[in-house]
Structure 1
Amino acid sequence: MKIGLDILGGDFAPEATIQGAILASKQLADGQQLVLIGDEQIAKQHIEQAGGNPAFFEYVHAPDQIGMNEHPTKAIAQKPNSSISVGFQLLKEGAIDSFASAGNTGAMLVGAVFSVKTIPGVLRPAIATNVPKIKQGFGILLDVGANADCKPEMLPQFGLLGSLFAEHVYGIQSPAVGLLNIGEEEEKGNMLTLGAYPLMKDNKRINFIGNVESRELFSDKADVVVCDGFAGNVVLKLAESFYMLTRKKGFSDSFFDRFNYEQYGGSPVLGVNAPVIIGHGISSPEAIKNMVLLSKNMIESEIIEKIKSAFN
């Protein structure tokens, strides 16, 4: 197993990515190799400065970086030696089994679709994120940013992608799938949700339980909640603020502590032909570590093969 990590991606790279790689390497078993993609000399220097052993890692030299504000498609095409471009080339060739980066989100999406490509039968890939539940555990919310505008037929597919991920990566049996909406009644919603509801209701491959209001998002009503990428991204960023607000207010709560993005590491891009993880731009070493471990879990679960089988 070879886990690819972009060490130049993120606001605090390469310090945070290298420190996270060192933390992750301590939890990898024999035969599980972390491949660092970026400036090799800088990587080795930072590993030594952090007290790690450079010999524990593999390296692929990629000296260029795609900035957070660069146009994704242009940057991928014009910077073939960037860490993201090289990472996806390695993934396409099978030289690595997964690729993770806390760099430019758009470039990660473009790279995934144009290199390893979308799984046949999947209309559009979706980005998934974890949503803490008030009692215990967490659910899955998707899409949270890959598709700002969706067609109704895309949402049942998101439900299936989320169900497969919840079941095979997180061990949630027969996950309940809900449609994020402004009311519980079937006739509530906009053109998108009104069109998607009957399609999800008729889809026998998912355990559809109906509409889910935003106030129910953190309850046990649904394990997988489906929405378009615009609504999902709004919900995601609001939820991310909860943890920071508790810190600013000077109190700690076990539920709100679980909104700390560091615990989950990154968001998987579901629906492409290889494990791809997008990390938060402000990823800390702890977040990078957990992003690597999520990559490992996705490889071990063979989730990509299970999605391919479901859509074939």
Structure 2
Amino acid sequence: MKIGLDIMGGDYAPKATVLGAIEAYKQLKEDQKLVLIGDRTLIDPILKDNNFNPDLFQIIHTTEVIGMGEHPTKAIVQKPNSSISLGFTLLKDGEIDSFASAGNTGAMLVGAMFSVKTVPGVIRPAIASIVPKAKGGCGILLDVGANADCKPDTLLQFGILGSIYAEHIYNIANAKVGLMNIGEEEEKGNLLTQASYTLMKETELINFIGNIEGRDLFNDKADVIVCDGFTGNVVLKLAESFYVLTLKKGMKDEFFDRFNYEQYGGSPILGVNAPVIIGHGISSPEAIKNMALLSRDMIETKIIDKFKIAFN
């Protein structure tokens, strides 16, 4: 197993990414190797400062970096030797089994679509995120930013992708799928949610429990919450603010502590032909470590094969 990690991506790279890789190494088995993609002249001194043997990693040297503010499509094409572009080349060629980066989100999406492409039958891939539940455990929210505008059949597919991910990564069998809406009644919502409700109700591919409202996000009503990427991103950013607010207010609460993005590492792009994970731009070493471990879990469970079977 080879886990690809972009060392140059993120606001605190390369130090945070290298330190995160060191921590991830401690939890990996001997046959699970981290492949660091980035500028070796920057990586080696950090490893030396931490008394870590560089031979324990495979390091792919590159000197270009796609900045956070660069245009994703142009950057991928114009910077083929960047850490993100090179990572996707390695992923496409089978040199690594997964690829994760806390860098430019758009470039990660474009790179995944251009290189490994979508699973046959999947209309649009979705970015999934974790939602802590008040009584423990977690739920899956998708899409949280890949698709601002969606069609009903796309939302149905998000429900399928989320259900498979919940089962094989978080051991949630027969996940309850809810459609985010402004009311529980079937006729509520806009044209998108009304049409999506009909499609989701009629299929046997998911365990659809109907509409849910924003207040149901953190209870046990649904395990997988489906929405368009515009709505999902607003919800995600609001949820992330809870943890920051508790810190500022000097509050210590186990539930709100679970809103800390570091625990989950990153958000997978579900529906592409390889495990691809996007990390938070402000990723700390702890977040990078957990992003690498999530990559490992996605490889071990062969979740991409599960997606392919579902959409065959």
Q: Same fold (TM over 0.5)?
A: yes
For residue 193 of structure 1, what is the aligned residue in structure 2?
193
Q: State how 1:89-100 maps to structure 2 within 5 Å.
A: 89-100=89-100
One-letter amino acid matched to 1:86: L
- What percent of counterpart residues are identical? 71
The CA distance in 1 between the partners of 2:48 and 2:174, in whole Å, is 46
Deviation of residue 304 (structure 1)? 0.1
For residues 160-197 of structure 1, the C-alpha deviation after alignment (integer angstroms, 9 at most, x for no partner) is 00000000111111000000000000000011101100
Q: How far does residue 62 in structure 1 lie from its aligned partner after superposition?
A: 1.5
Q: String of CA shifts for 1:216-260, please: whole Å, max 9, x gaps.
A: 000000000000000000000000000000000011100000000
1:65 partner SS:
coil
RMSD: 0.5
Distance 2:50 2:280 in 1: 22
SS at match of 1:73: helix
In the TM superposition, what is the alpha-carbon distance from 1:51 to its structure 2 partner?
A: 2.6
Q: What's the counterpart of residue 177 of structure 1?
A: 177
CA distance in 2, matches of 1:135, 1:52: 40
* Structure 2 gap segments, 5+ residues each: none
Spell out structure 1 runs of 4+ moving beyond 6 A. none
Deviations 1:25-73 (A, max 9, x none): 0000010000000112211111111232211100111111000000000
Report 1:132-171 matches (<5 A).
Answer: 132-171=132-171
Q: Which residue of structure 2 lines up, in the alignment, with residue 86 of structure 1?
A: 86
- For residues 129 and 251 of structure 2, the distance between their equivalents in structure 1, rounded to whole angstroms, comes to 25
Match of 2:286 in 1: 286
SS at 2:182 equivalent: coil
Q: 1: CA distance between counterparts of 2:96 and 2:36?
A: 11
Q: Normalising to structure 1: TM-score of the pair?
A: 0.99
Q: 3-state SS of the aligned residue for 1:153?
A: helix
How far apart, in 1, do the equivalents of 2:32 and 2:235 lie?
Answer: 35
Task: State the one-letter code of the partner of 2:190.
Answer: N
Q: Residues of 1 paired with 2:243 and 2:51: CA distance?
A: 31
Q: Give the aligned length.
A: 312
Cα distance in structure 2, aligned partners of 1:62 and 1:117: 24
1:47 maps to which residue?
Answer: 47
Deviation at 1:303, TM superposition (A): 0.2
Query: What one-letter code is carried by the residue in structure 2 that aligns with 1:3?
Result: I
Structure 1 CA distance for aligned equivalents of residues 146 and 51 of structure 2? 38
CA distance in 2, matches of 1:280, 1:50: 24
Q: Give me the TM-score of the superposition, normalised by structure 2.
A: 0.99
